Amino acid sequence: MQPVFATTPDALVEPLQRAGIAPYRAGQVLSWIYGRGVVDPEAMTNLPRELRALLAGELAPPALEPVQIARSVDGTRKFAFRLADGEIIESVLIPDRHRMTLCVSSQVGCAMGCGFCATARLGLRRHLTPDEIVAQVMFARRHLEEDPLGCGHLTNIVFMGMGEPLHNLENLIAALGILTAPWGLGISPRRITVSTVGLVPQMRALLERTQVNLAVSLSATTEEGRRELMPVTRKYSLQELMDACRELPVPRRRRITFEYVMLAGVNDSDDDARRLVKLLHGIRSKVNLICFNAFADAGYAGSGAERRERFQRLLLDHGVNATIRDSRGPDIAAACGQLAAQTETHSAAR
């Protein structure tokens, strides 16, 4: 029988039928695993004995060993996990009033090379499998049950951790299927956001094949400026990206979120704000202005509070919905752009 993790009820039907077990049992099995976090067949009390015997030895969860849980003064928690091959990934739990958000990783490292992101320094080591993605969410759920924080339960998921999610599209979509399915974790797609640097074909595929929210990392208002900050612009120009955003099948009452990391003297001028207004014309959108979070040898400095607020005001005055995102967990290198800043330290401690 194929491994149960990262699969679907349909994929389990055939092996169950070969064993003479009713197909509907597949959904029950996965509901135990994903809905209740149970991997011991003997604890699956509504399953017949022959099915529990068949599952014995087949339900080993993916190797996701927590090697560190760091706690920020602002309540943010960062998890560092060792995978079966010894690689390290990180995810971040962020409490905020009545919301609890988990920032999930999709790759070990990243191939996109964005200059303002510490993960880029690692390069791409490998894609995460669907079960490695889902296991991060399952761990966070268990962790909150054992050590409550904020509202006490997970409400939102953002794919803004290590890696470019759309570079790992098929594994991402498989994981999203598990996260949102009734037999899986049952999380509403409206509460899941996938961030991308702007992989244009994959953006369309994501919105055609799922119902999750899309966030686009923009961070520049000119072709030259974006090529400098985000090398992906050499393949998909800023103009091509914005044209694609206008044509994407975004559901009604939804908007594309544009993330804009504010860098002092680089992309934070009044002219940049005005160009951003023009770039977003005709797109249902909102803008998150992100404070740059420093890491070793970054080569950039973040815009000051006064400059961020003026930039926001210029956007608001021109009808652009814009918010300034607070940095969460910078003291534990868990803030936006900092993930993997301490990964080498974890690896050296194996």
- The tens digit of pLDDT for each residue in 23-32 reads 999 989 998 8
Predicted confidence band of residue 350 (pLDDT cuts 50, 70, 90): very low
CB 332 within 8 A of CB 71: yes
Same domain, 50 and 121: no
- Residue % of the chain over a pLDDT of 90: 76
* pLDDT surpasses 70 at 234: yes
Same domain, 205 and 120: yes
Amino acid 83: pLDDT: 95
Q: What is the pLDDT of residues 299-321, one digit of tens each?
A: 999 999 999 999 999 999 999 99
Same domain, 99 and 158: yes
Q: Assign 3-class secondary structure to the chain.
A: CCCCCCCCHHHHHHHHHHCCCCCCHHHHHHHHHHHHCCCCHHHCCCCCHHHHHHHCCCCCCCCEEEEEEEECCCCCEEEEEEECCCCEEEEEEEEECCEEEEECCCEEECCCCCCCCHHHHHCEEEECCHHHHHHHHHHHHHHHHHCCCCCCCCCEEEECCCCCHHHHHHHHHHHHHHHHCCCCCCCCHHHEEEEECCCHHHHHHHHHHCCCEEEEECCCCCHHHHHHHCHHHHCCCHHHHHHHHHHCCCCCCCCEEEEEEEECCCCCCHHHHHHHHHHCCCCCEEEEEEECCCCCCCCCCECCHHHHHHHHHHHHHCCCCEEEECCCCHHHCCCCCCCCCCHHHHHHCC
286 is a domain residue: yes
Mean pLDDT computed over 214-238: 97
Between 194 and 16, name the one with better pLDDT: 194
Same domain, 187 and 208: yes
3 is a domain residue: no
Amino acid 4: pLDDT: 56
Same domain, 183 and 34: no
Amino acid 15: pLDDT: 83
Same domain, 111 and 85: yes
Question: Does 240 qualify as catalytic in the annotation?
Answer: no
- The number of domains in the chain is 2
326 is a domain residue: yes
Between 253 and 156, name the one with better pLDDT: 156
Amino acid 63: pLDDT: 74
Rounded (10°) CA dihedral 302, 306, 307, 311: 120
Predicted confidence band of residue 349 (pLDDT cuts 50, 70, 90): very low
Of the residues 110, 117, 245, 336, which is catalytic? Answer: 336
Question: Does 132 qualify as catalytic in the annotation?
Answer: no
Predicted confidence band of residue 54 (pLDDT cuts 50, 70, 90): confident
Amino acid 342: pLDDT: 60
Amino acid 177: pLDDT: 94
173 is a domain residue: yes
Predicted confidence band of residue 56 (pLDDT cuts 50, 70, 90): confident
Looking at residue 307, which CATH number applies to its domain?
3.20.20.70
Looking at residue 40, which CATH number applies to its domain?
1.10.150.530
Same domain, 224 and 257: yes
Same domain, 314 and 184: yes
Pairing of strands 192-196, 156-159: parallel
Same domain, 172 and 310: yes
**Boundary-marking domain end, from 37, 55, 73:** 55
Same domain, 51 and 76: no
Pairing of strands 124-127, 156-159: unpaired
Of the residues 14, 42, 90, 110, which is catalytic? Answer: 90
Predicted confidence band of residue 290 (pLDDT cuts 50, 70, 90): very high
2 is a domain residue: no
1 is a domain residue: no
Amino acid 188: pLDDT: 97
Same domain, 276 and 329: yes
pTM: 0.92
Q: Which domain holds residue 334?
A: 64-348
122 is a domain residue: yes
Same domain, 31 and 160: no
16 is a domain residue: yes
Mean pLDDT computed over 59-75: 88
Mean pLDDT computed over 183-201: 96
Amino acid 150: pLDDT: 86
Amino acid 6: pLDDT: 57
